[in-house]
Structure 1
Amino acid sequence: MTPTTIVASPPHLADLRVIGLVGAAHFVSHVFILVLPPVFPLVRAEFSVSYTELGLVVAVFNVISALLQTPAGFLVDRSSARMVLVGGLVLGAASLAAAAAAPSFLLLGLAFACLGLANTVYHPADYALLSNRVSHGRVGQAFSIHIFAGFLGTAVTPAAMVILASAIGWRGAFVAAALLGLVVAAAILILGEPLAGREAARARAADAAAPSAGDWRVLMTMPVILNLIFFMLIAAFAVGVQNYGIVALEALWATPLSLSTTAITVHLMLSAFAVLVGGWLTARTDRHETIALIGLFVSGITLLPIAFVDFNATFLIALMALSGFFNGVLQPSRDMIVRAVTPPGAFGRVFGFVTTGFNIGGVLAPPAFGYMMDVGTPASVIVGTAICSLAAIPVVLFSVARGRRGVTNA
């Protein structure tokens, strides 16, 4: 039995409601992740702390998210993903309200630790709901809209926080973000009938056919571990482009700040919109690994020449645009590959586990690329970023091969 046979296909409007509500929650999660960095200077001035101390607050948020995301996935699979998601939104909103009222930096840090706990529920609950509640033909597109909503949250939050902080202060900006979370939580409660029900009950019959889905052993299967590595490499690629692309171009070719910023922005914008193209493609083929492999190859190979040739503005932006577009196209197929190797009844824990690869890559990649910059090898940053994408190709091939072998042996 495949995951798509657990429930009957819901009507079109129910699909749209599920996708819209889950996408809204994912948008909020990315807003919550980025509320602090844009107001670093204001918080630093108020509490007389260093940027290192502020960085530790962000690090604690990410460590808690990484450690507890998989347990949150078990909770999702054994209870109601809808209520877990609502709980995460409410806890996140309460944490931001507490941060807004914090009289000391220590209490601010504790509030963001709670926000990190709230952050653990989004990936497991979102992917369980989309996998279980969206009809088979729209799952790929549902994943693409989900990813796009997160990208959109990442894109709008820095500017929104700066604007809000200038108008009502950083504390008021935190309260505004908290209210957004409460609004989405209320919408899921009021409009979320298609999300209702316990995940365990919906997958009980499938669990009987696949007992390994009922415990932690499914996380130790080779396809799942390979997908964890896949997500780590994708995260490292993103870190290389977003965090170090501008400084690497300046150090390597003395690229003007305006040009390097434009090139990275074009890369990120095309990546976001190409996610929707990738979702359209997943609805028209089951060869999701083919889309992923092409996307990984092109997004990586188009970066390599930039490390060795000082291109003019047109060629630099064109190469970055191609890389960004194909990086976006592969994202929905990435999620479909994970779904294909996930036993029925284990969507929450498997997606919770593999998406910790984002956190691991986000922890390991910055020091590595930072060291390359410190020792004066900016070309290595660009090459290393490209290699992260290209190295994911054999990982995907092995993951898909092992997954199919498991199906054949079942």
Structure 2
Amino acid sequence: MSFSSLRTLPREALVVLSLVSGSHVVNHMHLVLFPPILGVLATEFDVTIATLGFAMGAQAFINTAFQLPFGYLSDTYDRTLTLGLCLVLGGIGALVLAAAPTFEWLLVGQILLGVGVAGHHPAHYPLLSDATTEANRGRVFSVHGFAGNIGFAAPPVVIVAVSSLDGLNWRHAFALIGAVGLLYAVLAVVVSLRYVPASVRRPNGPERPDERSQTPSLSSRLRAGTRALLDSPTILALGLLALVASTAMWGITSFVVTLLEQGYGVESSTASLTLSVMFGVGAVFMLVGGDLSDRFAPAPLIVGSYALVAVFVLLLASFVLPPSAAIVTAVVAGSVGSLSTPARDKLADVLSARADLGRNFAVVTIGIMVGSTVAPPLFGVLIETFDFRVAFASIAVVALGVVGLIVAIVARWGDEYGIGEVTVSGD
């Protein structure tokens, strides 16, 4: 890989990359608090795996519902405000989960987390895009994605480490994660206001509503936003692609620990730490994908990575593997899709005008979050109704759906945007 161009980034660009990468770590920690301890939560709150799947889906639904409002806030007012608000809400949500006395309070905590997570991508990507150039944007996006995967990897390690201490359990681990999120919110806002230029923190579009002679009504803004979306079929298609890809990957993320425990007989702590390894390997794949996305067109990268996801998930679903091989296969199945993430992000950037970056990345994130809303209850019900074999075979089919969608996108828009060629650039 060649990341030498990142060393030449101006100071404000490095500050932005550092801030949003740290925010991405916190953001993704909040997204995967449940999967490492589904069995523990099911026992403590006397609920089924499917019920916990619906709770995870509730968080993702709220996250989805708030994407466009936060995209509007980011595109119209201030990206630092968006970032700080979401970090605070996410931290509070984690603290509510830590103190939850009943399953109903778990839902409240999940809802707060959903709101908190929602504003990160609509703030992150416009900040990154405005602070960098197209020549190194794929690598910058991959560093951002790498940080996100570190965030995914952290909760299992934190939960196992904290729970191993005398008198402590998962609640103390959740409280620690929430407190870290709140402290980072203060740090991110202070550093952003001091070191990031207003030209990066503020929107690229028309002047803010308080600077206009007449402020459009909310209904007119909603109509205009809806018309703009309907006039952007490529962004809608990319949102659908993100939805299908997210459904496959969140199916793996949500249930691979219980698959290893109940299906392959892997010890609980080992299965939880496998989730961390999976995301750690995914972080490395993210960096590789960032370099490749600056050298090659996005479509072949997406096709190749999700074809591999399907193959390795089918191996898991076959139950022909010994436990040690199942662990390795699970790591690859849940990580190799990360190769394509920078390509997808760069594709969204290429298809966007500067004034609609927040909105368009919100659309892509809506796709991601709809997938994460659908996957836990869908595959949880398949596990409860049938078994792990059926559920994970279904995940493989969904992963192949990503391949079919990107082929269709290239057939429709490949020549117009140059997204289908195998090679487009090099160092």
Scaled to the shorter chain, the TM-score interval is: 0.7 to 0.9
Farther-moved stretch of structure 1 (182-191 vs 317-326): 317-326
Give the equivalent residue in structure 2 for 1:3.
none
1:77 is displaced (CA, Å) by 0.9
Tell me if the contact between 1:82 and 1:195 (Cα under 8 Å) persists in the aligned partners.
no
Give the equivalent residue in structure 2 for 1:227.
238
1:239 is displaced (CA, Å) by 3.3
- CA 1:168–1:350 in 2, change beyond 3 Å: closer, same or farther? same
Which of 18, 25, 28 pairs up with 1:27? 25
Give the equivalent residue in structure 2 for 1:91.
89
Letter matched to residue 375 of structure 2: A
Quick check: 1:257 aligned with 2:259?
no
- Quote the Cα distance in structure 2 between the aligned partners of 1:310 and 1:32: 34
Quick check: 1:330 aligned with 2:324?
no
1:241-279 deviations in whole A, cap 9, x for unaligned? Answer: 33444666788xx74426994987765443232111111
Aligned pairs for 1:3-402 (under 5 A) are: 11-35=9-33, 49-51=45-47, 58-97=56-95, 109-110=107-108, 112-164=110-162, 173-192=173-192, 193-194=195-196, 196-197=198-199, 201-204=203-206, 215-220=225-230, 221-245=232-256, 255-257=264-266, 261=271, 267-285=278-296, 287-304=297-314, 307=317, 310-311=320-321, 323-324=333-334, 326-374=336-384, 376=386, 378-402=388-412
1:323 is displaced (CA, Å) by 4.2
Tell me if the contact between 2:57 and 2:376 (Cα under 8 Å) persists in the aligned partners.
no
Tell me if the contact between 1:38 and 1:162 (Cα under 8 Å) persists in the aligned partners.
no
1:404 is displaced (CA, Å) by 5.0
1:74-126 deviations in whole A, cap 9, x for unaligned? Answer: 11111111221012112333444566677887667545433322221111111
Count of residues in Structure 1 that have an aligned counterpart in Structure 2:
389
- CA 1:190–1:242 in 2, change beyond 3 Å: closer, same or farther? closer
Tell me if the contact between 1:92 and 1:119 (Cα under 8 Å) persists in the aligned partners.
yes
Farther-moved stretch of structure 1 (335-344 vs 304-313): 304-313
Tell me if the contact between 2:39 and 2:258 (Cα under 8 Å) persists in the aligned partners.
no
- CA 1:311–1:44 in 2, change beyond 3 Å: closer, same or farther? closer
2:355 counterpart SS class: coil
1:167-215 deviations in whole A, cap 9, x for unaligned? Answer: 666665454333322332233233322364476643449xxxxxx9972
Tell me if the contact between 1:142 and 1:279 (Cα under 8 Å) persists in the aligned partners.
yes
Stretches of structure 1 lacking an aligned partner (at least 5 in a row): 1-9, 206-211
TM-score normalised to structure 2 length: 0.75
- CA 1:395–1:22 in 2, change beyond 3 Å: closer, same or farther? same
Letter matched to residue 115 of structure 1: L
Letter matched to residue 177 of structure 2: A
- Quote the Cα distance in structure 1 between the aligned partners of 2:353 and 2:162: 44
Tell me if the contact between 1:35 and 1:157 (Cα under 8 Å) persists in the aligned partners.
yes
1:113-143 deviations in whole A, cap 9, x for unaligned? Answer: 3332222111111122122222222211122
Stretches of structure 2 lacking an aligned partner (at least 5 in a row): 1-7, 208-221, 419-427
Farther-moved stretch of structure 1 (254-263 vs 60-69): 254-263
1:321 is displaced (CA, Å) by 5.6
- Quote the Cα distance in structure 2 between the aligned partners of 1:87 and 1:132: 21
- CA 1:213–1:161 in 2, change beyond 3 Å: closer, same or farther? farther
1:24 is displaced (CA, Å) by 0.4
1:400 is displaced (CA, Å) by 4.2
Farther-moved stretch of structure 1 (324-333 vs 51-60): 51-60
- CA 1:311–1:341 in 2, change beyond 3 Å: closer, same or farther? same
TM-score normalised to structure 1 length: 0.78
1:284 counterpart SS class: coil
